[in-house]
Amino acid sequence: MHRISYLGTSVDITGGDGMPEILGWGRYGAQRAEADKNADSYRGGLPPAVASSHPPIGLFAEESLGFPAMPGVSGHRADGTGWSPRFRRTEERISEASASFVLDDEVAGLQIVTTITVAAGAVVTIDAVLTNTGDTPYTLATLAPSLPVPAAASEVLTLSGRWTMEFQMDRRPFIKKTVVENRRGRTSHEAAPAIFVGTEGFAESDGHVWGAQLAWSGNFRVTADRLSDGRCYLQLGELLLPGEVSLAPGEAYDMPQMIATCSDNGLTAASGRFLSFHRQAVRPRELGPRPVNLNTWEAVYFDHDLQTLLDLADAAADVGAERFVLDDGWFGGRRGETAGLGDWFVSPDAWPTGLKPLIDRVTGHGMVFGIWFEPEMVNPDSDLYRLHPDWTLTTDGYEPILARHQLVLDFGRPEVRANMFDQIDAILSNHDIGYVKWDYNRNIVQGSDATGRAGVRRHVLGLYELLDDLREKHPQVEWESCASGGARIDMGVLARTDRVWTSDSNDAADRQLIQRGASLLIPPEIMGSHIGPPTSHTTGRTHSLGFRAATALFGHLGIEWNVLTMTEEDRVALREVVALYKTHRRLLHTGVPVRLDHPDPSIVAHGVVDADLTEGLFSVASVHTRAGSALTPLVIPWLSNEKTYRVEPLLIGGEVPGKDFHPPSWFDGGGEMTGAFLGGNGLPLPVFWPERALLIRVTEV
């Protein structure tokens, strides 16, 4: 048996000449029994009327050895052969932190080269390339690795949702199989390519948790399964549409990377390893202090009047914004949502003097100018579509399905990518632009490429290639991944972008839940979170500035509010919020994000602490009306038991969380408490009204 390990995380892998099987993985202590190095230590007993051995849950589970569920490799040749391969290990390379294997099936004419690594952040990664070594084409249906989890895992957590309510934590008993499938063509609002399982009642700071995610921006299948013999495993892979991958002799399929994490002290620690992996290994560049964005969309929509936007730039600078992003409506015939997508030139109708006057005003204030694109989309009412109607992901013989009056361009075609590169490059080369908001506002439906085959995979790979090319040409530009909000947030696109737009909803009550779920997968410094207007345009709900600001602070702060129309009182308070963010953004964006448990379901609590446990900033929010009048204390287990801390409220605009005749003593001017007290008894809380938040600063005395 082979063992690889790094920073306390180990993986045990079978030896021999067959398909590697991961027997166990996790954070093993030095006292681990010597007998566990023997593969037989992992094997349970066998009941009558079964095969003489458990069918292995191989790294790529094999139907040919009796595996009873979805195999790790499936496909076939035109004559039906090759459908049930059985691989032999022909080469292996084992180092301290990684294991690579060459697996061959000469009968099926297939080879897999796969690597298991314990990587930065103490996560386990699995990569693989499958090559057709036969002499006829091979149609691949599945290539998905399996990772065992202990039978003690009794609950499963996935992330589900919809537009403007993404990343909702969906938790249920882990009794049988849980499958999450995405067929939207993009990562989707409805599901994230991730799954967690844990021991009964696992919480943010308690219990054993195992999780995995897929670095892929297209269709996927995520599974947590409990076999009839009690063994449990996670299986993640790209969901390939029929005939989507047909490998000619010698051609290869490179699967999306699977990334796994585990923890013996709760969900926050497990997901924190995902965040650490992103910061250390995935992030495309080092990020400086995250500038305050002002996005124009909810201020002007499609009404691009130069004087209004000049005034908006002045007002943005006045409240402390550091980046000004011009949203949809600046290009081609784009005076509304029905036309212009695909024609990426500055509209002479909307901008008769060009963008330069606005850019000069923005940069004159010391702000960075940003701009909106939606390069993957085309309106039928556009010059590009009239010239190249065949460039879309549609299927000949069928009426195309429109959504938002638009179709999806086929980025799997080199000529389409070249056209988009040239158009975007011209805008970026001829203007002082430091930021691009890259949007993607519809799903792929019946998306065939030029050959008539399903084209989702090639489109996603084409997107990656185009982003890589543009980043290389314009290294000064930061890139945001937006897809009607959070419909494309995954480790695949995050390797090429510097920020995500977490949701199209700026409703603070909904955002508390959206951002909590998203924080399982992404760190706060790339999580776009904006202060919207008092009344949300997606829910019609009205919230105080204090609640909206406290919600938006725990991400990459922005403003999506017409600062020209706000009251002077709001303007003063907004300046205070921006200043507060600038004071604390080093902590917010380099510290350790934590989520806090609270028994009241109306309370959402979270925060960030620095690596030395000398300071922390926390938020407690009441997202709806509760049954009880008082709240139980907030337990904060992420501080040092040996230190004493000063605890004080940070009130935005003097706004208190509720009407409280007898607030706790620390609420008036601060107080001192030990870390042991905060992590044991917890911090006594004041009375909260619904849809109010409280910021709490904790500093070592």
Question: Does some domain include residue 30?
Answer: yes
**436's tokens:** 């691009």
Question: Does some domain include residue 607?
Answer: yes
Question: Does some domain include residue 55?
Answer: yes
Residue where a domain terminates, one of 235, 260, 282: 282
pLDDT value for 7: 87
pLDDT value for 34: 44
Residue where a domain terminates, one of 282, 307, 333: 282
- Bridge partners (DSSP) listed for residue 571: none
Question: Does some domain include residue 251?
Answer: yes
> How many domains does the chain divide into?
2
Compute the distance between CA of residue 483 and CA of residue 187 in angstroms, rounded to an integer.
9
Question: Does some domain include residue 428?
Answer: no
Residue where a domain terminates, one of 265, 282, 299: 282
Question: Does some domain include residue 511?
Answer: no
The CATH number given to whatever domain includes residue 680 is 2.60.40.1180
CA-closest candidate to residue 131, choices 90, 156, 103, 157: 103
Below-50 pLDDT ranges, the chain: 29-36
Helix (H) or strand (E) holding 385: helix 383-387
What SS3 state is found at 161? Answer: strand
Q: Checking DSSP bridges between strand 232-238 and strand 194-198, what pairing results, if any? A: unpaired
pLDDT value for 176: 92
The mean pLDDT value of the chain amounts to 95
The CATH number given to whatever domain includes residue 70 is 2.70.98.60
Question: Does some domain include residue 121?
Answer: yes
What SS3 state is found at 632? Answer: coil
**238's tokens:** 């790209």
What SS3 state is found at 114? Answer: strand
What's this model's pTM, rounded to 2 decimal places?
A: 0.96
Report whether 659 contacts 687 (CB < 8 A): yes
pLDDT value for 30: 41
pLDDT value for 35: 37
Active site residues: 439, 504
Range of the domain at 252: 2-282
CA-closest candidate to residue 26, choices 54, 4, 1: 4
% pLDDT > 90, the chain: 93
Question: Does some domain include residue 303?
Answer: no
pLDDT value for 29: 46
pLDDT value for 121: 86
pLDDT value for 51: 64
DSSP class per residue in 282-322: I-SS---S-PPEEE-HHHHTT---HHHHHHHHHHHHHHT--
